[in-house]
Amino acid sequence: MNESRKLFVKSFGCQMNVYDSRRMADTLAPQGYVETPAADDADLVILNTCHIREKAAEKVYSELGRVRRLKEAAAAEGRRIVIAVAGCVAQAEGEEIIRRAPTVDLVFGPQSYHRLPQLLAGAERGDKPVDTEFPLDDKFDHLAAPSTAAVRARGVSAFVTVQEGCDKFCTFCVVPYTRGAEVSRPVDKILAEVAQLASAGVREITLLGQNVNAYHGDGLNGRPSSLAQLLEHVSAIDGVERLRYTTSHPRDMDGHLIAAHGALPKLMPQLHLPVQSGSDRVLAAMKRRHTCADYLAIVSRLRAARPDLALTSDFIVGFPGETEADFAQTLSLVGEVGFSGAFSFKYSPRPGTPGADLPDQVDEETKSERLHRLQTAIDQSQAEFNRSCLGRTFEVLFEKPGRYTSQLVGRSPYLQPVQVTAPAAMIGEIAAVTITEVASNSLFGTLARAPAREPSLAGAGA
Ligand code: 5AD
Ligand code: SF4
């Protein structure tokens, strides 16, 4: 039996990094590593990094400054802290990280974390290993499954990566370079992972992929399976009550997937579908390969399949060449779709991507000003959506204790957090809640007496 050691993992960026961090902890558990919530008493600190925007990468270097001080303080007491940088900054910058932050003992990319035990042994010898390979073998085959206790501690809603990487090469995006070409996991392995999570008490599964709706893993019959087929299989697993998937590209929103929103009751009525811009000129420069009208047509087909579907999105302002008229089209798209929420970002040129070399880069002040106007429009749209929930009764999955004692916080079908007075024993349960108050972005509700279901949504649209 290994002596117990403490592991602190900090995730930056997307949900896939959160998932990867958990799988790293699972991989290290047989080596005696137990997770700790505090970096200062850890033996191993892993920063699982994000490279999507410049700010995200800069955050890592400032965090490394902090952990260097912890490492020095521990060394003064005769204790060693090993510092590892993982994820997309590790992939993109490799050795450069150790040059810029010599306190780092180990660097490994998103495709190498199954080799963590060996890499760690090297780091402990002082080798400073750097592993940014894209190995041909499937890292998921080498990962330890989480223990039931670990699954329970992580809550009733879990992520499962089904697809990684991206072949789209949008001109602003580093993902195809940091996460590599698109790879889908086979259906049987995904189903086994979901079944294990469900038997440990997980009620909601979110299938993850950088381009999840391009999913094409080997199906149970040996032929490639679409995401719609995968969703059907996952929704047949006992114990899984709710299903979601993210993040999708509009180009891959095919008829079957759209129809699944009407046909699968467990598939929640909320979809994250990034559009990035409302201007066809900008969309073309971004190489998104869809127009604003294409996007609106997909939205109306989705809403025909599932009339109460809530949509969220991502936007970039200040892409090179974006004029005030282009930006006005983005604002008008926000008004037209009525998003239930959205993320918006200032364009951040990423070295090595085509966008970084385009002429007509937009100045910082214009980007900030547009971002502010866009966020105001998104906030309005979100507030309007939330107000439309007032007085409605829908099912809430209770996740954890709420803001005040005797309150729990759960998620609505539309992914909004809902604060409800309810006993702690209801964590993990799904119960009908009537929305009684909407304040800024929070919903408040009370347990409804009789279980209420959303009206049945028969028939598929497409
Ligand atoms: N600059 C700003 N935002 C970006 N995103 C991706 N790359 C960049 C970039 N270079 C945004 C997109 C994407 C989300 C995850 O991050 O909106 O959908
Ligand atoms: Fe990046 Fe998404 Fe475009 Fe792929 S589809 S390049 S992940 S923005």
Report which protein residue has its CA nearest ligand 1's atom 2. 347
- Cβ–Cβ under 8 Å, residues 407 and 417: no
User: Which atom belonging to ligand 2 lies closest to the Cα atom of 288?
Assistant: 3
Question: Does 456 score more than 50 pLDDT?
Answer: no
pLDDT tens per residue across span 75-134: 999 999 999 999 999 998 899 999 999 999 999 999 888 889 999 999 999 999 999 987
Report which protein residue has its CA nearest ligand 1's atom 16. 52
Mean pLDDT of 23-30: 92
pLDDT at residue 365, as a whole number: 98
Spatial separation of the C-alpha atoms in residues 213 and 169, rounded to whole Å: 16
Report which protein residue has its CA nearest ligand 2's atom 5. 168
Cis peptide upstream of residue 247 (ω within 30 degrees of 0):
yes
Q: Could you tell me how many helices (H) and strands (E) the chain has, helices first?
A: 14, 19
Spatial separation of the C-alpha atoms in residues 178 and 109, rounded to whole Å: 8
pLDDT at residue 452, as a whole number: 46
User: Which atom belonging to ligand 2 lies closest to the Cα atom of 249?
Assistant: 5
Q: Determine the length of the chain.
A: 462
pLDDT tens per residue across span 375-399: 999 999 999 999 999 999 999 999 9
**Which of the four pLDDT bands, split at 50, 70 and 90, describes residue 5?**
very high
Closest by CA to 98, choosing from 54, 118, 125, 128, is 128
DSSP 287-351: T----HHHHHHHHHHHHHHSTT-EEEEEEEE--TT--HHHHHHHHHHHHHHT-SEEEEEE----T
Spatial separation of the C-alpha atoms in residues 151 and 128, rounded to whole Å: 32
Least distant ligand from the CA of 275: 1
Least distant ligand from the CA of 181: 2
**Which of the four pLDDT bands, split at 50, 70 and 90, describes residue 136?**
low
User: Which atom belonging to ligand 1 lies closest to the Cα atom of 355?
Assistant: 10
pLDDT at residue 2, as a whole number: 55
- Burial profile 82-111: b = 16 or more Cβ within 10 angstroms, e = fewer: bbbbbbbbbbbbbeebbeebeebbbbbbbb
Which one of 17, 89, 170, 172 would you pick to mutate in the ligand 1 pocket, going by the greatest count of ligand atoms within 8 A of its CB?
172
pLDDT at residue 46, as a whole number: 97
DSSP 95-119: HHHHHH-TT--EEE-TT-GGGHHHH
User: Which atom belonging to ligand 2 lies closest to the Cα atom of 169?
Assistant: 6
Task: Report the DSSP beta bridge partners of residue 207.
Answer: 160, 245
- DSSP secondary structure letter of residue 461: -
Cα-based angle 358, 272, 204 (whole degrees, multiple of 5): 140
Question: Going by C-beta distance under 8 Å and a sequence separation of 6 or more, which residues neighbour residue 402?
Answer: 408, 409, 419, 420
pLDDT tens per residue across span 264-321: 999 999 999 999 999 999 999 999 999 999 999 999 999 999 999 999 999 999 999 9
pLDDT tens per residue across span 231-272: 999 999 999 999 999 999 999 999 999 999 999 999 999 999
Question: Does 449 score more than 80 pLDDT?
Answer: no
Determine the distance separating the centroid of ligand 1 and the alpha carbon of 54, expressed in angstroms.
Answer: 10
Could you tell me the two tokens for 162? 């089904």
385 lines ligand 1 (CB under 6 A): no
Q: Is 120 exposed, middle or buried (0-12, 13-18, 19+ CB in 10 A)?
A: buried
Pocket of ligand 2 (CB under 6 A): 166, 168-170, 173, 175-176, 210-211, 249
Which one of 12, 17, 50, 52 would you pick to mutate in the ligand 1 pocket, going by the greatest count of ligand atoms within 8 A of its CB?
52
Mean pLDDT of 146-169: 89
Pairing type for strands 130-131 and 157-161 reads: unpaired
